[in-house]
Structure 1
Amino acid sequence: MLEELEVRNLGPIRSAVLTPGKGMTAITGETGAGKSMLLSAIRLISGATANVGRVAAGADSAWAQGIFDVDESGKAAGLALDAGVLDSDSSETDSDPDETGRLELFLSRTVPASGRSRAVLCGHSVPRNVLGNVASELVTIHGQADQLRLASPARQREFLDMAADDKAEREVYRVAWENLQAMDERLHNLTNQEASARQRADYLRESIEQINKVDPKTGEDEELKDKRSRVENAAEIAQGVGSALSALDASQVDSDSDAQSASDAINHAIQALRTIHVGGVFSEAADRLESLNADLSDIVFSLSNEMDTDEDAEGLDAINSRIHELDELTRRWGPALEDVISWRDKAAFEVEDLDASPEKVEEIKAQRKQAFDDALKAAQVLSKKRKVAATGLANTVTKELSALAMAGAGLEIRVVQRKSSPKDKPASKNDEADAASSTWPLDVNGIDDIEFLFTPFPGSPKLPMGKSASGGELSRLMLALELSVAEKRTFESNDMTFIFDEVDAGVGGKAAVELGKRLAKLSQTSQVIVVTHLAQVASWADSQFVVSKGSAENASSKAPIETRVNEVTGDARIHEIARMLSGSESATSLSHAQELLDSSKL
């Protein structure tokens, strides 16, 4: 949502701030007052080509900035994050994004009187196309001077998918498509090997043979290094263990020894404490000594086993040789021995593909055909849902157009499944798998060609959108389209601001009232800004700004005329509506204006 638009030195506007609120905002004013400059400012921060001729006379540069409140998980915030202007952990916001899920994006543009313009996103200079990509997720301008948003087949498909609510079907197709792409790449690699591929296969076979010759086991190198350490320190180990056992239990070292063991001494202490028939500290001490004696017995047992171990010093060379072999493997395919084993297992599968035996090629072709069939089936399910949605959307839009003073106008949405061409058909059954690779009715978006055809008046041929209507008609068509999918949006989840210019061209009377009502209806789920000269449209707005001409302060008669932008509320708004109705502010026109404002409620 656009929170604030600030403009400096753009055309006749020296300084202006527009703060459209949530809902519908009307921008009004006399013809030639400069309303178009506000749209020019929005186009600038949307990445449009800069026109130095728009810089105010005598100014060094023109500047425009838009502040947008957006969902931190939305596309616009994601694009800003990808551009490196937002911290992935925290962002500059008026509130904690972890609590509200919202943040502010600052889009600005400076156009010098001479030289190149500068695009800035959240305080960081960025390429103009980056600013445009972010703005495309935030602002949509429907006007004669703007390229129609739904003129491209890609945009039409996206719009239809939103109306169809086919996210689940598109996800199923995406998975099937990616699997098909992977099988195509694998088949291509199999059937189009070059010398480098053969060299790769030879390298893999030699490597696998070398690893298999050593036959490593997971963790074997660590076990061997531990064993080597024991052999190298066998004398020291024997001396230390013997001394420890002599102190703890001499009978373990010398069977003829009659020296009391540490365990016997502790048992004697325990028995002495048990003869004390007073509980408390004596009983607790005896319990602790019993626990200590159990641990001591385990230690004596473990050390006795170490005395029995006969480390083979003569085998040290064999151990070192084996460790050297394993180290060579980890040096080349490591870093760990388990990595070497994993690499060998994967290499074995790669060799199978690189060998490209006829049997292997046929196997992959069969898998590729199955992947194609799965993708085709998923595409057809998606296509069916699109067709149902296309009929419903076209009917709804046609009804809306009738209420927008375009009776007889209509929209047709064609969803046509692509067919393979005759030249793609296999010459024989043996060629079916090869033909499948060249038969491409599918693409990343499915199997459909989608086209929006507009009929602006009865008897007119059905023509592609953008080639069949005036600016005002196109704006009303876009309004009808946006209204038709409005129920699928909620204001909290939709960051788009819709700006309508010339939407009221050629409209008056009851049709103007209906136009204003429908703009207000759209503003329940999206922010709407409309530039209008009709009071019947402006009266439906939640807020209204007037663009007017006025001499600069302390100006001489030769000073340039400046454009001012002011919000009108209360009596000031009634006077502006009255001016729009009759060009005067008589008691009758003021009464009519008040009546119009009172009746313009959803």
Structure 2
Amino acid sequence: MLEELSLRDLGPIRSAVITPAAGMTAITGETGAGKSMLLSALSLISGGPANAKRVSVGASEAWAQGIFAVDDADDDASAASDDAGGSDGDDADDGDEALSGGALAIARRAGVEPEDGELFLARTVRATGRSRAVLGGKTVPRSVLAAVAGELVTIHGQTEQLRIASPSRQRDFLDHAAGDERELAAYHAAWRELADMDARLERLRAQESSARAQADYLRESVERINAVDPHPGELEELKAKRDRIENAADIAEGVSRAIAALDASQLDLTDTPADATGASDLITQAAQALRSIHVADGGFDELADRLESVNADLADIVFTLSGHLGEDVGEADLDALNARIHDLDELTRRWGPSVEDVIAWRDKAAFDIEDLDASPEKLAELEAERDRLHEAAASAAAKLHGARATAAGRLAARVTEELTSLAMDGASLEIRVTSREGGDALDANGGDDIAFLFTPYEGSPQLPMGKSASGGELSRLMLALELSAADMHAGAGGEGERSSAPADMTFIFDEVDAGVGGKAAVELGRRLARLARSSQVIVVTHLAQVASWADSQFVVTKEPPDADDDDLGVVTTVAEVRDAERVHEVARMLSGSESEASLDHARELLKESEL
């Protein structure tokens, strides 16, 4: 949900901050006042193209920022759904596949964490034409900003809504309305298994010419490694043992001298003097001397105890050192060690750098040999398994097709009914879900071709959506689609209480009121407000009958420049109107004046529009 939209030096708007309502927000104002700049700001933070001509006169750059409330739970569900599916790549503007997933997942892959449950999307456009995209205070590629915004904002304007003409977006829209997550997940799992098997078979067939030589090399390498039979950590242990053997003389000499200094009686050496006194004897003598002092509170007995404790530690050290004197470090052991170390070094030079790497390489090579040695029988076995997996995927695709076809009929009927209430009598929508035939019928998203076909008026030819409607008609069609999908997805029949859960998508509607008036305008406002019960809705409108349904209303107003700032031209301000101010704005929208009659009419309209 969009919590705040800020912009600076964008067209005639020097500075503006909008805090839209959680439900429906109306943007109103006279024609040419600059309402389009608000849409430009939303387009910028959504990764849209930057136009240096939109920078205010005299400013060096324009800036826009949107603060969005994000929910980990909703984002995890979106990411899980996207991870299960993948992209079929038929949309050039969909961005890199790595950008799929919920808004938080995309942001976190870019190294950005939300702050207090909020994501900050910003864009700077310099007068020189260069722009900079910022996510959570971190500069990111524009494609990343677009991917995050794509999970948070849907703009239904004259340009943006034409993207629904894409077959993949129509498929995604239908799946969302159908609520077919279970069928999609089952199909995606079956498709992944089939795709993995196809990749394995393709690899086996492609490498057939060189497979035998490669298999021979791997087999000989595995046999050589097995002949040495290395063990994890063995090389380090052997090198440490060799080091001890090679330094045996130094070790023996050092140990002997240490023992002689501590307790010469433990050595059986002919050159040791009979009266040699070691540290242990001296400490014993010191302890005895202390115990001969007969003073009650001098603490000498305690000191004697500590000396005896030290002596006990020395005795333990002497015992440990004595054990090293008996070690057998013969030349035969050194020769055997060097030979083993040499064999292991040879392995690590070829398949290392460590013994553990050698073992891992051997284990992988043994697995690869099975594929490289694939006999006709093995290939036949894999192809039979591939046929089984294809049948399972086809079965899952058929169930998905059924869910889509059922939802398509329901969605098209709901949309057609809504269009009648939106001053589009005779207009209708048909959604065709056609199962593909042939060996390449299945892809990552199922086995269906989906087409949204729109008839704008009775007798008109049926044409693909996006090629058969004016800007206003297409905006109303998109409203009917979004509203019908929200009702289907929620299992709702229409009117109801506003959900207390936060909106997970912000819908922006522009030109939705083009060519609409009277009762149809009231119905248009009512339906925008109905959509706002489950999602946040921001609508740019000229109709009081639409604006009166909004939870909050912002007015865009042109003001003449100050005498001191005449060079800056007309300045546009954006301000929220409430209570009496809102009554006056609605009255202006109704009749162009603020007479008592128009004010009474405005009050009546606002009261009638309360849900």
TM-score range, shorter chain: 0.7 to 0.9
Structure-1-length-normalised TM-score:
0.77
**What is the deviation of 1:153?**
1.0
2:369 maps to: 351
1:549-596 Cα distance to aligned partner (Å, 9 max, x none):
332122799994443333222212111111222222222221121111
1:221 maps to: 235
2:417 maps to: 399
Tell me the amino acid that sits aligned with residue 599 of structure 2.
L
1:547-566 matched pairs, under 5 angstroms: 547-554=556-563, 560-566=569-575
1:373 maps to: 391
Say whether residues 1:137 and 2:151 are aligned partners. Answer: yes
Say whether residues 1:509 and 2:518 are aligned partners. Answer: yes
- Name which of structure 1's ranges 134-143 and 556-565 shifts more when overlaid on structure 2: 556-565
1:526 maps to: 535
Inter-CA distance 362–297: structure 2 relative to 1 (3 Å threshold): farther
Q: Where do 5+ consecutive residues of structure 2 fail to align?
A: 76-101, 269-279, 281-309, 491-498
RMSD: 4.5
**What is the deviation of 1:309?**
7.1
**What is the deviation of 1:19?**
0.5
**What is the deviation of 1:443?**
0.9
Say whether residues 1:206 and 2:215 are aligned partners. Answer: no
**Cα distance in 2 for residues equivalent to 1:558 and 1:117:** 24
**Cα distance in 1 for residues equivalent to 2:226 and 2:566:** 97
- Whether the 8 Å contact between 2:67 and 2:121 is mirrored in structure 1 is yes
**What is the deviation of 1:117?**
3.5
Inter-CA distance 231–42: structure 2 relative to 1 (3 Å threshold): closer
Secondary structure, aligned partner of 1:576: helix
Inter-CA distance 314–352: structure 2 relative to 1 (3 Å threshold): same
**Cα distance in 2 for residues equivalent to 1:50 and 1:222:** 61
1:568 maps to: 577
Tell me the amino acid that sits aligned with residue 579 of structure 2.
G
**Cα distance in 2 for residues equivalent to 1:599 and 1:570:** 15
Name which of 415, 435, 446 aligns with 2:433.
415
Structure-2-length-normalised TM-score:
0.76
**Cα distance in 1 for residues equivalent to 2:556 and 2:162:** 26
The alignment-based identity, stated in percent, is 56
1:278-427 matched pairs, under 5 angstroms: 312-420=330-438
1:426 maps to: none
- Whether the 8 Å contact between 2:25 and 2:552 is mirrored in structure 1 is yes
Tell me the amino acid that sits aligned with residue 364 of structure 1.
L
1:158-177 matched pairs, under 5 angstroms: 158-177=172-191
User: How many residues are paired up?
Assistant: 557
Secondary structure, aligned partner of 1:415: strand
**Cα distance in 1 for residues equivalent to 2:562 and 2:248:** 100
**What is the deviation of 1:521?**
1.9
Secondary structure, aligned partner of 2:563: coil
Q: Where do 5+ consecutive residues of structure 1 fail to align?
A: 92-96, 254-261, 263-291, 421-438
Inter-CA distance 299–550: structure 2 relative to 1 (3 Å threshold): closer
- Whether the 8 Å contact between 1:140 and 1:149 is mirrored in structure 2 is no
- Whether the 8 Å contact between 2:4 and 2:18 is mirrored in structure 1 is yes
Say whether residues 1:498 and 2:507 are aligned partners. Answer: yes
**Cα distance in 2 for residues equivalent to 1:491 and 1:375:** 39
Secondary structure, aligned partner of 1:32: coil
**Cα distance in 2 for residues equivalent to 1:586 and 1:154:** 52
**What is the deviation of 1:538?**
0.7
Secondary structure, aligned partner of 1:454: strand
- Whether the 8 Å contact between 2:222 and 2:362 is mirrored in structure 1 is yes
**What is the deviation of 1:234?**
6.1
1:275 maps to: none
Say whether residues 1:121 and 2:139 are aligned partners. Answer: no
Inter-CA distance 180–588: structure 2 relative to 1 (3 Å threshold): same
Name which of 576, 579, 593 aligns with 1:584.
593
**Cα distance in 2 for residues equivalent to 1:252 and 1:171:** 78
1:65 maps to: 64
- Whether the 8 Å contact between 2:51 and 2:129 is mirrored in structure 1 is no
**What is the deviation of 1:317?**
0.7
Tell me the amino acid that sits aligned with residue 4 of structure 2.
E
Secondary structure, aligned partner of 1:150: helix
**Cα distance in 2 for residues equivalent to 1:15 and 1:107:** 16
**Cα distance in 2 for residues equivalent to 1:558 and 1:223:** 83
Tell me the amino acid that sits aligned with residue 523 of structure 1.
A
**What is the deviation of 1:53?**
5.0
- Name which of structure 1's ranges 440-449 and 360-369 shifts more when overlaid on structure 2: 360-369
Name which of 600, 604, 608 aligns with 1:595.
604
- Whether the 8 Å contact between 2:486 and 2:531 is mirrored in structure 1 is yes
